[in-house]
Structure 1
Amino acid sequence: MPKISDEKRAARRLQILEAAWTCFQKQGLHATTMSDIIVASKLSAGAVYSYFPSKEELILAAVTTSLSGLGERVAPIFAAPLPPERFIEAVAEAVARFTAREGYDLRRLALLGWSEAQRNEHLREVMRGYYLEFRARLADAVRRWKQTGEMRETASENDVAKVMLATILGFVVQSAILGDVAPKDLARGLRDIVRSEDADGR
């Protein structure tokens, strides 16, 4: 049997993940079976199980693949000299573009992943690592804003990073459930908060 190329292997893996994401959104993580995913993928059971021996491994791959992909999308934003409000808007725009897919929305699936992480310790630790790394990068951005005078010198880098991460994750929740929040809303809200603090002299 000829060996398939790395490119073909990656394409098949993504094909299975696309099928899993579609099934998870329609039926939920626990109601979805491997049989459902096999049918949706249009591959043989042997092919699917050769990539993902269990649904738990498939769930883990679905979460880590989406987090890694999003991380690649936002990496250039961290490198750009953007003020805080434009930065948060750009990140939210990247999240919206990356997560909206044909047949499913990764923002809605993120809620399922967060719920699953409460019972799956391994998944929780993996997600924790991603979010801690992202928060550390946010703290670096805060440090840069302090140096350029775009944020007060007394601002706590870690505290501001936590607020910004909460804002980004909150954007995911609000857009998945309420559907009435846009990236520009975050930028305007953050700008108004900063101006209010400046006016109060705090």
Structure 2
Amino acid sequence: MARVSQEHLDARRRQILDGAALCFARNGFHATSMQDVLKEVGLSAGAVYRYFSGKEELIGAIVGEVLEWIQATFEAAAEETPPPPPDVLVGRALTQVLGRKTGVHEGESSYLPRLIVQVWAETLRNEELAAVMRQGYAKVRVAWVKIVEGYRAAGMMRDDIPADHVARVMIGAAQGFVAQLALFDEVPVEALQDGLRGLMSMGRPS
């Protein structure tokens, strides 16, 4: 029997993750069955269960992957001297994450914000998923604190405000924008960048 290449195995895993993510974003975790996932990806139960034991493992893999994308973006920015300003950095991170839409059907390219909101809701009842989220959030905060320290070293930001407070606000800006995309309208990432630039330009009243 011919050996299956690693490239083929990786592509099959990618196919399953993309299909499951789309199903979860469309109908929610609890309304989506493994049969729905099998139908979406067009594979047999045996082919899918070779990679994932069930919905919980699929959800964990999807969440872990998104958190890794976000973390990598901010960690890379923290190594730049000086780091990109907040409007550029947050816009870059959102564009990179929201742009990962491989395997999505036409007309459903904006599924990722809905999926992210579904994940947030699921963490309120799923302690294992909540632990994954807390760990990922902590790593992103650490990266943002390093970015803020880079701003200070370059004379770009005042140094009398705790760096962790700035980190939380910038993460919150990105999270809030994702929630708007999922719940209200298809506002472009550039709108968030413009808003951040406007806030950054504020000075004391004369």
Taking structure 1 as the reference length, the TM-score comes to 0.87
User: 1:121-159 CA deviation, whole Å, 9 max, x = no partner?
Assistant: 001001111111011101110010011111012121000
Do the aligned partners of residues 199 and 100 (structure 1) sit closer, same or farther apart at CA in structure 2, a change above 3 Å counting?
farther
Structure 1 window deviating more from structure 2 (17-26 vs 123-132): it is 17-26
Deviates more, 1:96-105 or 1:177-186: 96-105
Distance 1:168 1:101 in 2: 25
The structure where helix makes up a greater share of residues is 1
Q: C-alpha displacement at 1:78, in angstroms?
A: 3.9
The superposition leaves residues 147-182 of structure 1 with CA deviations (integer Å, 9 ceiling, x where unpaired) of: 111101212100000000000111111122222533
Are residue 143 (structure 1) and residue 149 (structure 2) matched? yes
Which residues of structure 1 form unaligned runs of 5+?
Answer: none
Partner in structure 1 of residue 68 of structure 2: 68
| Cα shift at 1:85 | 2.8
Deviations 1:15-36 (CA, angstroms, capped at 9, x unpaired):
1112212222232211111111
- SS of residue in 2 equivalent to 1:155: coil
Matched residues, number: 200
Does residue 50 of structure 2 align to residue 50 of structure 1?
yes
If asked which structure has higher relative contact order (CA below 8 Å, sep 6+), I would say: 2
Task: Tell me, in whole angstroms, the C-alpha distance in 1 between the residues paired with 2:103 and 2:198.
Answer: 32
Distance in structure 1 (CA, Å) of the matches to 2:181 and 2:103: 14
Identical residues among aligned pairs (%): 35
Counterparts of 2:59 and 2:86, CA distance in 1: 34
- Backbone CA RMSD of aligned residues: 2.3
Structure 2 residue matching 1:102: 3-state secondary structure: coil
The corresponding residue for 1:134 is: 140
Distance 1:135 1:54, change over 3 A: same
1:116 is paired with a residue of what secondary structure?
A: helix
Q: Structure 1 stretch 35-44 or stretch 84-93: which is displaced more?
A: 84-93
Partner of 1:117: 123
SS at match of 1:199: coil
The letter for the 2-side match of 1:94 is: Q
- The 3 A distance-change label for structure 1 pair 194 and 18 is closer
Unaligned runs of 5+ in 2: none
Structure 2 residue aligned with 1:199, among 193, 198, 204?
A: 204
Q: 1:73 & 1:162 partners in 2: Cα distance? A: 16
The change in CA–CA distance for 1:152 and 1:70 in structure 2 (over 3 A counts) is: closer
Question: Quick one: structure 1 residues 8 and 164, their matched pair in 2 at CA, closer, same or farther if it must change by over 3 Å?
Answer: same
